[in-house]
Structure 1
Amino acid sequence: MKNLLAKAFLLLLLVLVQFAALSQAVPDKLNAAFQAFQNDPQLRHAIASLYVVDAKTGQVVFDKNGMIGLAPASTLKVITSVSAYELLGDGYTYQTKMAYQKTNDGALLLLLPGGDPTFGSWRWKSTTEEVALQDAALAIRNLGIKTIKKVRVDNSGWNEETVPDGWIWQDVGNYYGAGPSKLNWRENQYDVILKSGSQLGSAVSIVKTVPALYGYTLRSELSAASAGTGDNAFIYFPLNAQSAVIRGTIPVNENSFKISGALPSPAHQFAGSLSDALQRMGVQSPKSITVREQSKSELGSFTTFHTITSPPLDSIVYWFNRKSINLYGEALLKTMAFKHSGSGSTDKGVALLQNYWSKRGVPETELSIVDGSGLSPLNRVTTHAQVSILQHARKQPWFDGFYTSLPVYNGIKMKSGTIRGVKGYTGYHTGKDGKTYTFSFLVNNYNGSSSALVKKMYKVLDELK
């Protein structure tokens, strides 16, 4: 019996020594790996920051440039997500209401949106374009209305400027550059189907858009490039214009090449789509729409008859981080501002987040941000700030939902971020030593290919395993 106890004690001691050795080795391994990373030619003119803590104790495991503000790209989304959980609540839902006012020769239709970025989205069965249009059209027909004379959208309290500071022209016309309105539709996205010729440099034609666009047009200045060159097409849509141009290249011999753009006016697109749905039910409705602030007296003369409710925040954050949907981040930022100040503006949202985290130990100077998605190259965030906010999230009752939203790359649960010259990862990982680590890793101004850099960043993060 004594021999068995002695063997068990010895085995336990060996395990503890091994865990202790592994734990002590992580900082040294990270240091060696990071030094090699910094000396790589891709980092010759770059700056990199890595901040790692023991998730349970908060003790710093590794810190290099943790207090230097860097462009975070889409890793900023973790800050927006955690802030939304804190300031809106994991069960928060958006509501889009429809109201009407009878007239002698028909009715006025008033849309009362709340900034819902999921309205008409294909990511949930309950929010699809088909479901939203059919339910709205049926609700209108059931009122006995045969003619709608005008359609209005109430944008009270919501800043209709959809482009945050620092977004570049090459981005804003494309699907990932779709900004938020108080009424969003189909994630403010549409698809363009293109056809290229068989000769290099030949013209590329527009086959169609899905859905059909209302109130604006596209023209192609694209040319055909070599096979395998991929999508190098960008939609340039000047603000307040009614025509966009597509420039760049797509490969030769393509008959149905798809790119996606950002709707310049989701409210007008919804009005056109709703008009078509109503037409099929025998109800006449204009395809145009008026977007403006409604006075209290005007609102009081309308009767609400239909309400569309979004999925809960927990579900929205899941897709926000899994698919890195910039629109969701910008809509959430404005929504937080609207709820807490009555003004749905990006600037108010930024100030709200900075003030909120400043009171929780993250100085405003470490959160020099201008948007909620990270698309702007003007953002500057420290890896220390990101880790501090991720650490805060671990202690909250909604943490499981947030953790689930983070994608897995290289076997590690983390959010990625990419804009030109910027690559980042931030998240959590449990290593062989049994410890869970919270980390943020940002690189700015690297040279060479992104794919090559990613492999080298993975090699550093592998030391957490």
Structure 2
Amino acid sequence: AIKNPPPRLKIINELMTSSLEGEVSLYFSVDGSNVGYLRGIVPLDASPNFNVHCAVPDPAIYVAHELTQALRINEIDVEQEATVGSSESENLTLLDIHRSPPLSKLIEQFLRISINMYGEVFVKTIAHQTGQSSLFDAPLKILPSYIHTLLDIENSLDGIVITDGSGLSRSNRLSTYALARILFTVQKQPWFDNAYYEAFPTINGLRMKSGTLMNTIAYAGYIKEHSFVFSFMINNYHGETAPNMRKKIWNILDALK
């Protein structure tokens, strides 16, 4: 059972159990409809209670719904269901103002919990604020433009194709060499230590970010004590399980510590 689902959202459960490790994801349809899909693999020995982190399709109505439910639980009458809209009436009472966390904290959530929707929103927000592209083709223009400016070398975009902000699309093309150069170069930025490096999750004793798709596994990060930057991408592997592939990567990284 799903505890406290977003209002007006129909969730279709397509999860499968397996003896292999896997990931659980909640996907919303691209047209913004209120139909979500639970997809992925749940290990057979997983706890019956687990969390799925996701973005709700309509945050405003979700907050209004939660407030309505909280008032009713505390025996405060609410005459109608929650709605979202504008009003020109002067007879309004401000209950609260909730501000977004700073970008440094959002980056931490993006990297550590892998809330992929954040990546899409970051790129589209940059496009909206700068006017460099439309929201539709923001990943195609914003990220390559930044990489080209950051690396500041000829042919810096050779072999790089980016079609989304989260990295989930199989149409993306990025080499380990290009990614390692990007990770190395951003160390010169004033925001690197406090905002970026500290946001990386600690995996196997190192600051690194993981990425997984079916038969694809990737890790990239830093061995700061020795000024090393590393990037692994293993695509379309067969005959090995994800834990075995991960162990081989750990063995290499352990030798570099």
Report the TM-score, using the length of structure 2 for normalisation.
0.73
Q: Secondary structure at the match of 1:368?
A: coil
Partner of 1:412 in structure 2?
206
The one-letter amino acid paired with 1:437 is F
Partner of 1:462 in structure 2?
254
1:414–1:213 CA distance, 2 compared to 1 (3 A): closer
Partner of 1:320 in structure 2?
110
The one-letter amino acid paired with 2:118 is Y
Partner of 1:370 in structure 2?
163
Q: How does 1:41-190 map to 2 (within 5 A)?
A: none
Structure 2 gap ranges (5+): none
Does residue 1:436 correspond to 2:248, yes or no?
A: no
1:407–1:342 CA distance, 2 compared to 1 (3 A): same
Give the one of 47, 67, 87 matched to 1:274: 67
1:345–1:274 CA distance, 2 compared to 1 (3 A): farther
Give the one of 326, 329, 335 matched to 2:119: 329
Does residue 1:387 correspond to 2:180, yes or no?
A: yes
Partner of 1:286 in structure 2?
81
The one-letter amino acid paired with 1:411 is G
Matches of 2:147 and 2:126, distance apart in 1: 14
Report the TM-score, using the length of structure 1 for normalisation.
0.44
Matches of 1:442 and 1:370, distance apart in 2: 18
Matches of 1:390 and 1:222, distance apart in 2: 35
Matches of 2:108 and 2:24, distance apart in 1: 29
Q: Give the number of the structure whose residues are more often strand, by fraction.
A: 1
1:322–1:302 CA distance, 2 compared to 1 (3 A): farther
Structure 1 gap ranges (5+): 1-192, 194-208, 291-297
Give the one of 127, 130, 154 matched to 1:340: 130
Partner of 2:236 in structure 1?
445
Partner of 1:189 in structure 2?
none
Matches of 1:211 and 1:218, distance apart in 2: 12
CA contact (8 A) 1:215 1:268 kept: no
Give the one of 190, 211, 221 matched to 1:397: 190
1:312–1:359 CA distance, 2 compared to 1 (3 A): same
The one-letter amino acid paired with 1:276 is Q
CA contact (8 A) 2:208 2:219 kept: yes
1:407–1:285 CA distance, 2 compared to 1 (3 A): same
Q: Per-residue displacement from partner, 1:289-322 (whole Å, max 9, x unpaired)?
A: 46xxxxxxx89x5889553212211122122212
Q: Per-residue displacement from partner, 1:114-150 (whole Å, max 9, x unpaired)?
A: xxxxxxxxxxxxxxxxxxxxxxxxxxxxxxxxxxxxx
CA contact (8 A) 1:336 1:349 kept: no
1:257–1:436 CA distance, 2 compared to 1 (3 A): closer
Q: After TM superposition, give the deviation of residue 450 of structure 1 in Å.
A: 0.9
Q: After TM superposition, give the deviation of residue 458 of structure 1 in Å.
A: 2.1
1:344–1:272 CA distance, 2 compared to 1 (3 A): farther
1:236–1:459 CA distance, 2 compared to 1 (3 A): closer
Q: Secondary structure at the match of 2:170?
A: coil
Matches of 1:457 and 1:230, distance apart in 2: 17
Matches of 2:40 and 2:256, distance apart in 1: 42
1:257–1:251 CA distance, 2 compared to 1 (3 A): farther
CA contact (8 A) 1:233 1:259 kept: no
Does residue 1:353 correspond to 2:108, yes or no?
A: no
1:277–1:220 CA distance, 2 compared to 1 (3 A): same
Q: After TM superposition, give the deviation of residue 385 of structure 1 in Å.
A: 2.1
Matches of 2:23 and 2:201, distance apart in 1: 26
Matches of 1:372 and 1:437, distance apart in 2: 26
CA contact (8 A) 2:24 2:52 kept: no
CA contact (8 A) 2:9 2:34 kept: yes
1:329–1:286 CA distance, 2 compared to 1 (3 A): same
- Work out which of the two has the higher radius of gyration on C-alpha atoms and give 1 or 2: 1
1:388–1:459 CA distance, 2 compared to 1 (3 A): same
CA contact (8 A) 1:278 1:285 kept: no
CA contact (8 A) 1:220 1:245 kept: yes
Matches of 1:376 and 1:216, distance apart in 2: 25
Matches of 2:146 and 2:47, distance apart in 1: 51
1:345–1:244 CA distance, 2 compared to 1 (3 A): closer
Q: Secondary structure at the match of 1:364?
A: coil
CA contact (8 A) 1:334 1:345 kept: yes
